[in-house]
Amino acid sequence: MKSVLIIGVGQYGTHIAKRMTELKCEVMAVDTNEERINDILPFVTSAQIGDSTNEDFMKSLGVRNYDVCIVSIGDNFQTSLETTALLKEMGAEKVISRATNDVQMKFLLRNGADEVVYPEKQSAIRVATKYALDSVLDFIQLDSNYSIYEMKIPKEWENKTLAQLDIRRRYNINIIAVKINDQVNVPMPDTYMVEGDIVFAIGDIKDIQKCFKL
């Protein structure tokens, strides 16, 4: 069971806190807003009202004892930056911080964040990709180069096996799963493609476009 410190429980932090509690984590939530703390308290292990830029308050939390510290402050970048730096100075094992633009991301990484999440950008890219390309049912970005795409199979794939299609060699992408009648399966070379099948493909967008003729 992981122990998690979440600083900032606005909408984004609240979603994280609730989900991590569902995943059996011990969650400590911190915010300066009493109403937010009262709202989140039934869903977490414990919660405190406090200023995350105050060194004495942060020491009282014992930040070294948490497996991960998440700074999900979205409305005050200066506070987010100071909190991130203070957590690392106090020996936090892993600090994940939220950014709302590219400049913030760079500063957070320079000031101690082990990882930066950029939910607005990530969500925008996902929505844009999903709705710009008719064959794309869903999309998960892994890094700047590779993503996982949930795709309708092209007409020319029907009645052929993955071995016959030879996708990896021809297009430099991997088919990591196939959904048949809403059942997701690990594909084998002899997996037979039929109309209505959906595949999960991992690769670069240019290779995906070439392979699926987007």
Q: pLDDT (tens digit, 9 = 90+) per residue, 159-204?
A: 998 889 888 899 898 888 988 888 888 888 888 888 888 889 898 8
Listed in order, the ranges of the chain carrying CATH 3.40.50.720 are: 3-117
Cβ atoms within 10 A of the Cβ of 118, count? 17
pLDDT score for 192: 86
Phi-psi region of 145 (alpha: psi -120 to 50; beta: other; left: phi over 0): alpha
Least confident of 51-60, 93-102, 163-172, 202-211: 202-211
Number of Cα atoms under 13 Å in the Cβ half of residue 153: 23
pLDDT confidence tier of residue 132, bands split at 50, 70 and 90: low
For domain 3-117, is the CATH number 3.40.50.720?
Answer: yes
pLDDT at position 108 over 90:
yes
Strand pairing of 46-49 and 68-71? unpaired
Q: Are 172 and 137 in contact (CB under 8 A)?
A: no
Q: Does domain 122-212 fall into CATH 3.40.50.2300? A: no
Binning pLDDT at 50, 70 and 90, where does residue 133 land? low
Residues of the chain with CATH 3.30.70.1450: 122-212
Query: Is residue 99's pLDDT more than 70?
Result: yes
Q: Would you list the DSSP string of the chain?
A: --EEEEE--SHHHHHHHHHHHHTT-EEEEEES-HHHHHHHGGGSSEEEE--TT-HHHHHHHTGGG-SEEEE---S-HHHHHHHHHHHHHTT-S-EEEE-SSHHHHHHHHHTT-SEEE-HHHHHHHHHHHHHHSTTEEEEEE-SSS-EEEEEEPPGGGTTEEHHHHTHHHHHS-EEEEEEETTEEE---TTPEE-TT-EEEEEE-HHHHHHHHT-
Residue 87 reports pLDDT greater than 70: yes
The pLDDT score that the predictor gives to residue 149 is 86
Q: Is the pLDDT confidence value at 126 over 90?
A: no
Output the CA torsion sign for 172, 177, 179, 185.
Answer: positive
